[in-house]
Chain A
Amino acid sequence: MSGKGLYILKRLAGAFVTLAVIATLTFTLLRVLPGGPFDTEKALPEEVKANIEARYGLDRPVLDQYLSFMGGILRGDLGESYKYVGRSVADIIGEALPVSMELGLMSLLVAYLVGIPLGVFAAARHNSAFDTGAMLIAVSGVALPSFMVGPLLVSIFSFGIPFAFLQGSLPPALWESPAHYILPVLTLGLRPAAILARMTRGAVLESIHQDFVRTARAKGVSERVVLFKHVLRNSLIPILSISGPLVAGLLSGSFIIEIIFAIPGIGKHLVQSVTNRDYPLILALTLVFSMMLVVANLVVDLLYGFVDPRVRPEKSGAGG
């Protein structure tokens, strides 16, 4: 097996252990958390509650429950939701996750298409008015919480405040047509775009001083090629590093955005399943999100090798 194949295999084995530990920890924490799934405002008579708990196997010893939960995961059976009667957890995630991923992918696109060029131009025109302006926007983008940006965009583009001519140009919520996508995608994409812009600017500023840039210029290479081929490629490492968590984070949905824009995604479930103590759903979501994070980080680590030969896994080993 090639070095890269072995490396991936090792990483996957590591990921498997990580996920098993996460599953165990989540399971334990849920049992420690006060309040159970069937504690309701209108208290149930003990015998009625016992019937319900028996129906979901909650009357068995905790170790038993743990083993059958882990066994279920290995078989790919995530169980049935406690809150949504008769709906399997796999169905719930299968319906909601694609929506969040759609939103996340579009926001990622916005983030990279806006963030990276903005960062490169700001760096290239270091200390200019453009640089200052771009970074001002970037800092605001990082600082402004989405629960402010969302409603702000809604009042401008849906209700025309203060620009009356914009009234009704975009719907204030729901997820039904491309027109509905624009505001949530912008709201969700703004922050990562800002982060990327700042990181790109910093990285580009660093590599723009390097000798090979001067060499390239001395060879008469056009400035555009210098900037986007030589400088940017050498500035990609820090951008890649944050891309792992960024991609996983955006694809797994955003509770706030989904609530503000009434988007039927997965972010809402992550929060509400905990409030509902919907054990199977919480456990499954935790695993899905962990898996996305693990995979995204693995992909990023592999990409390092393409960007910078010095960190290619064959050479630096599994630790690299």
Chain B
Amino acid sequence: MTRFSSSVSQWRPWALDVATLLSAVVVLVGLVGLVGCTGRRGDRIALPEGGEAVLAKAETLKVNLTSEPPTLDWSKATDVSSSKVINNIMEGLVAYDLQSEELALRPALAEKWSSDKAARVWEFDLRADVKWQDGVEFSGQHVVDGFQRLLAKETGSEYAYFLFGIQNAKAFNQGQLGWEQVGVKLLSPRKLQVTLEAPMSYFPHLLAHTSTFPVRLDLIQKHATKWTEAGNLVGLGPYRLRAWRHDQDLLLEKHDGYWGNPKPSVRYVHFLMINEASTALNLFDAGTLDVVDQIPITERKRRRQQKEYRRVGMLQSLYYGFNTELAPMNNAKLRRAIAHAIDREKIVKILDGGEVPLTGWVPPGMFGYFSDVGLEHNVEKARELLAEAGYGEGKKPLPKLELHFNTNEVHQSVAEAVQAQLRENLGLELELKSAEWKSYLDQLKTKPPHVFRFGWQADYPDPDNFMNLMTSYSDNNRTRWKSTAYDALIKRGASETDREKRREIYREASRLLLEDGVAAVPLYANVSHMLIHQRVENYPANALSRFEFKGTRLK
């Protein structure tokens, strides 16, 4: 060993090390030189029809799309990423006045609409001066084609049920009736008539949703599944799809022939697809992104101090549901006791993101929100109710309940807070269990636990969208709570056209659901946290997460 070591030391390893180091330096310098010479590909994007778009900073808004849109086929899209893009490429018969207090509807492709007194037969007058982005004139047939395609069995669209309210639409979707028997008719090329199964005062809301937008069957036939690719996709909106590099980015350019108002101002909207919120934040800090709309919990406190920070209330409520058929949760008094024992203010404090405590079912910011409905935090009452339910000293021993949620740090902290509150206020033990999302959904469908977390985000800002969930016939009612009185109220609410009368119907229904039946306990309404660069003016941050960039300007 000694001999070997001495022989090694004779070969002057330093000479070797220095040579290697030198060559490494040369390679590194070469690399850096190469990097310096190569322009950034990101500022130039090749277009499918040839040539390239040069994205000058002053005329390009860079936004994070978070993920690859699963599809830009608006009859099939169901997620936020897809609709962020679609809502700029396309428009529907109606749209939202995003500045109005309860998000009122405003005309878009339809210049006016009306219904019979019962709100069962609707007529829409379509605009005459509208052209698709390829110059083809827009007509009522495109609207009918859109409805038919959404409802057709072969399309296999998830949101087909959106139009099940139309006469015979459901039977058509199941292949039992032909299209001619469905209550959609063109009275003239510019006048559309829709007849519903039952009165529905909020029907126009459905036509602001991407799934019901008009379609061009000629283009779908021509390009088959590729009709949504850049170069093929033609819309009616203020922006055109210029490039779509899957899983990487997507480029929109303003369409000069846009018929509506305001005309788009920003030339390019460049969407990047950054999944990880902290990566998107890094890109914002580095000046690459102009907007990020997700801030990780750990960053919120620090980011709130930034002048770019914006907080937007969302039409999204989070609740704990009970399996009302599973003992002992079939005891309404026990459910009521639990509802009274939960302190929402404390939960919101823990989350520390400006979430709004919620006792009612509909979130604030839309028609149907009530601050005086539901069971408030009241420990004394909770204890009384628990005793009345038959638990406590000299009575049945307290049950051990399971609380399930899908794996997520926010849901975990809420669950832990509720667990602590029920232990402290009622002496009740909750066992927390979390599961991966799809397994969780499967469990809620087949075997809901005692208590489970869930939420709802508005498809459209009408109370029916929220209240309908808990009807006995809704697939989204995972509580197994059934009330014929509630079902009847929801049906009445849908058909009532007088706004104030409608409001009272929903107030009564909310009471039935949350105070009497206690099928669920609302916890809070969610908010979204954003950073918007100072150079961006009038960014469409709104409760509906409807991102229409036509009003946005760059300084």
A83/B247 contact (C-beta < 8 A), A55-B156, A171-B288 known: no
Inter-chain contacts of A264 with B (CB < 8 A)? 245-248, 273
Task: Report yes or no: A262 in contact with B273, Cβ–Cβ below 8 A.
Answer: yes
Instruction: Give residues 414-454 of B contacting A (CB, 8 Å).
Output: 436-443, 445
- 0/1 interface trace, chain A 263-286, chain B, CB 8 Å (1 if under): 010001000000111000000000
Q: Decide if B484 is an interface residue (CB 8 Å cutoff).
A: no
Q: Decide if A152 is an interface residue (CB 8 Å cutoff).
A: no
- 0/1 interface trace, chain B 28-50, chain A, CB 8 Å (1 if under): 00010011001111100000000
CA of A38 to CA of B17 in the docked complex: distance in angstroms? 60
Interface size (A, Cβ < 8 Å)? 66
A39/B246 contact (C-beta < 8 A), A85-B76, A172-B286, A275-B437 known: no
**Closest Cβ–Cβ distance, residue A63 to chain B (whole Å):** 22
A/B interface sample: 14 pairs, CB < 8 A: A35-B439, A39-B445, A40-B441, A42-B78, A47-B170, A51-B153, A121-B13, A172-B279, A177-B35, A178-B35, A259-B279, A262-B273, A275-B437, A276-B438
Inter-chain contacts of A277 with B (CB < 8 A)? 438
CA of A125 to CA of B40 in the docked complex: distance in angstroms? 43
Task: Report yes or no: A179 in contact with B40, Cβ–Cβ below 8 A.
Answer: yes
Number of cross-chain contacts by CB at 8 Å: 178
Task: Report yes or no: A177 in contact with B39, Cβ–Cβ below 8 A.
Answer: yes
Q: Decide if A92 is an interface residue (CB 8 Å cutoff).
A: yes
Contact of B442 among A39, A47, A126 (CB under 8 A): A39
Task: Report yes or no: B35 in contact with A86, Cβ–Cβ below 8 A.
Answer: no
- 0/1 interface trace, chain B 507-545, chain A, CB 8 Å (1 if under): 000000000000000000000000000000000000000
CA of A42 to CA of B68 in the docked complex: distance in angstroms? 20
Instruction: Give residues 167-211 of A contacting B (CB, 8 Å).
Output: 168, 171-179, 182, 208-209
Instruction: Give residues 135-187 of B contacting A (CB, 8 Å).
Output: 153-158, 160-161, 164, 170, 173-174
CA of A81 to CA of B210 in the docked complex: distance in angstroms? 22
Centre residue among B41, B286, B440 by max chain A CB count within 10 A: B286
Task: Report yes or no: A121 in contact with B160, Cβ–Cβ below 8 A.
Answer: no
Contact of B276 among A83, A91, A96, A260 (CB under 8 A): A260
Inter-chain contacts of B31 with A (CB < 8 A)? 178, 182
Task: Report yes or no: A92 in contact with B274, Cβ–Cβ below 8 A.
Answer: no
Q: Decide if B285 is an interface residue (CB 8 Å cutoff).
A: yes
CA of A172 to CA of B225 in the docked complex: distance in angstroms? 35
Q: Decide if A66 is an interface residue (CB 8 Å cutoff).
A: no
Task: Report yes or no: A174 in contact with B272, Cβ–Cβ below 8 A.
Answer: yes
Centre residue among A51, A158, A260 by max chain B CB count within 10 A: A51
CA of A41 to CA of B285 in the docked complex: distance in angstroms? 33
Q: Decide if B408 is an interface residue (CB 8 Å cutoff).
A: no
Task: Report yes or no: B475 in contact with A43, Cβ–Cβ below 8 A.
Answer: yes
CA of A41 to CA of B41 in the docked complex: distance in angstroms? 38
Task: Report yes or no: A117 in contact with B442, Cβ–Cβ below 8 A.
Answer: no
Task: Report yes or no: A34 in contact with B439, Cβ–Cβ below 8 A.
Answer: yes
